Amino acid sequence: MIMKISQLKPGFLVREHKNNGEIDNFEVVTVKPLGRKVEVTFRSLLGLESALYPADAYLNAAGC
């Protein structure tokens, strides 16, 4: 399901579809509003990583 970054919640699963057909899964750990941007921390097999997005951007995510 496509959803706004600002609607993400901890525990949601984000899927990244790669050009080679593989899919990477990332679990949302934290969502921190920062004005017109949102910092999202993800967990994957490689560990934790954060990214900064516009609050009105969209990702392919599913609730838990």
Place of tokens 């921390």: 41
Q: How many domains are contained in the chain?
A: 1
pTM: 0.83
* Residue 43: CATH number of its domain: 2.30.30.30
Domain holding 15, by residue range, is 2-62
Inter-residue contact 36 to 55 (CB < 8 Å): yes
Tell me: the pLDDT tens digits for 4-53?
998 899 999 998 888 998 888 899 999 999 999 999 999 998 899 999 99
pLDDT value for 64: 64
Inter-residue contact 55 to 45 (CB < 8 Å): no
Residue 63 confidence class, pLDDT cut points 50, 70, 90: confident
Q: Is the pLDDT of residue 55 over 70?
A: yes
Burial 19-46 (b: 16+ CB within 10 A, else e): eeeeeeebebeebeeeeeebebbbeeee
Q: Which amino acid is at 15?
A: R
